Structure 1
Amino acid sequence: MTSAFRTTDGARAVRNRYEQLLQQWPSPTRRHLVPTSAGETFVIESGPVDAPAVVLLHGTASNSAMWLGDVAGWTQRFRVFAVDIIGDAGLSAFNRPPLDTDAHARWLDDVLAGLSLQRASLVGISLGGWLSLDYATRRPERVQKLVVINPGGVGQPRNVLIWALPLLMLGRWGRRKMMERIAGAPSGSPSPDQAEAATFFELIFRHFRPRTAMLPRFEDAALDRLSMPVLAIIGGKDVFIDAPGTRTRLEAHVHDLTVSFLPDAHHFVPDQAPKIEAFLAAQPAASV
């Protein structure tokens, strides 16, 4: 396997649509192809160059277009780096190192070095949340603040491939049913932005080769090393993660933790940008 996509035409279709969506980025951007030991990594940089650095890590079967609805406010206050994860549906190299090693942490070391970042806050969702936790547990001194949205690897593991792969084999109907399980059944007519996002994700799912490796579960000792302020946003109806177990374990092991548990939310949790911005911008409480 040499690509995240089943066919060259499929890869081209996703790339072309992704490039079109990136034209809608709500602030001026600088694009990077950062050389790393795991291959070139595509990064979109935006925001004031002297502002605090924030690194965004998307979920699997996705790319940095998923942040389009969130970054407008963030780039007013932060220097934002949206990273396309290697081996996924973006513009970075196809490389899927083993998840049960430090390979992804070393990859992020290279990315940060290529961007001249000694320290940054991390914001990650799903697989990106797992990668953010993995890095923060291994390099806590390099992470200013950590935001994870429905991260894998904390609660009891779930084998989603049992139901996801059969749905992907059922054509457009199956892909739509899978999206409903991930994002919830639509209520009313979607907004133009929601419809555009749904169409793009359906295009990706039509051509993408899903990851099949289970995300390793973090040991207690690893979670104990999360010394930075952490915001965890958890959807109670997420089909990918054990939401209650994720909340319980984070509360047991993370000292400086803020949990936003949304019992009716699914894997994609909309309208969280202001909450994340406020958390990233908050100054530490003065010691008495």
Structure 2
Amino acid sequence: MKNEIVFKSAAGRQAILGVYDSVLEGWPVPFQMRRVETRHGQTFLIECGQASAPALVLLHGAGSNAAFWRGEVETLGRTWRVLIPDIPGEAGKSEERRASLSSPAYVEWLEDLFAAEGLDQVAVAGLSLGAWMGMKFAAAHPQQVSRLALLSASGIAPQKNSFLLLAVALMLCGDWGLERMARMVGGGQPMPREVMDYTKLIHREFNARLEVVPLLSDEELARLSMPVLLWMGEKDVMLDSRKSAARLRALLPHAEVEVSQGVGHVLPRMGTRIGAFLEER
């Protein structure tokens, strides 16, 4: 792991985690919290749902944490044992050191996390960077992943450099720029004020990951033999949804590939779509 500082200040860290704690206080279902030791430091983990049911791991995106799955756990927890870790090096309560995406660190992290939780086989749903991590793990250990849901997935087609440059400019424009950027990422969909305010807080007080997400190779993607869902929005300003869909269809004919009209990087009602995919036979 690098010794890269992810929070801009102690006060910023406290502010971000303070909102996180308030979200946990209003968690819609009973849950447990614990810390799990891995080769890459401690991982903060939320568990909810049915303890005796098959396991589902939810992986959030960059500059985020497990709190962003709050709206989906009630639906998914009815039939799954839901495990939601904070990804190390992101804006949560896990190890704050950040690893390079070109290293094996995040596959190793999931190996250790799954071993500690006794997960011989698991369904994985990932959003954006979390989808990339899910694919990397599933390519390395296809026998351990029963189903793989990829939402606004990074790493299939190149990121849009035009948005990266615009995002840098907007971040220099204060509160207005941060709100404008968040609405662009959301594809113009309505965003609750509390979600908008938390997103802006993280952008202000957290050092975003600047590393370009590496593309998975054809060989890696071809190893995804389990049922796969790729769901992206056609208005995604960060990723080329059309190229991502075309590449995955070509390499994985068995995958379900969906590009939704009028939707951006942030997808609506994710829990319902993930749940339907997981229940398919």
Where on the TM-score scale, by shorter chain, does this alignment land: which range? over 0.9
TM-score (norm 2): 0.95
* SS of residue matched to 2:38: coil
Q: Is the 8 A contact 1:4 1:88 kept in 2?
A: yes
For 1:1-288, what aligned pairs fall within 5 Å after superposition?
3-159=5-161, 160-185=163-188, 194-283=192-281
Question: Structure 1 residues 144 and 186 mapped into 2: Cα distance closer, same or farther (>3 Å)?
Answer: closer
Residue 272 of structure 1, CA deviation:
2.8
Residue 180 of structure 1, CA deviation:
1.5
Indicate the percent of aligned positions where both proteins have the same amino acid: 35
TM-score (norm 1): 0.93
Q: Please provide the CA RMSD for this pair.
A: 1.3
Q: Is the 8 A contact 1:161 1:212 kept in 2?
A: no
Q: Deviations over 1:116-173 (max 9, x none)?
A: 1111010000111111111111111110100011111101333343121221122101
Gaps of 5+ in 1: 284-288
Q: Deviations over 1:180-205 (max 9, x none)?
A: 21013356xx6xxx221111111111
Structure 1 window deviating more from structure 2 (95-104 vs 234-243): it is 95-104
Q: Is the 8 A contact 2:6 2:98 kept in 1?
A: no
Q: Provide the C-alpha distance between the structure 1 equivalents of 2:193 and 2:189, rounded to a whole number of angstroms.
A: 11
* SS of residue matched to 2:23: helix
Structure 1 window deviating more from structure 2 (159-168 vs 204-213): it is 159-168
Gaps of 5+ in 2: none
Q: Provide the C-alpha distance between the structure 2 equivalents of 1:248 and 1:77, rounded to a whole number of angstroms.
A: 32
Q: Is the 8 A contact 1:4 1:209 kept in 2?
A: yes
**Equivalent position of 1:286 in the other structure:** none
Query: Runs of 4 or more off by more than 4 Å in structure 1?
Result: none
Q: Provide the C-alpha distance between the structure 2 equivalents of 1:139 and 1:254, rounded to a whole number of angstroms.
A: 17
Q: Is the 8 A contact 1:227 1:255 kept in 2?
A: no
Q: Is the 8 A contact 1:48 1:76 kept in 2?
A: yes
Kindly tell me the number of residue pairs found equivalent between the two proteins.
278
Residue 2 of structure 1, CA deviation:
5.0
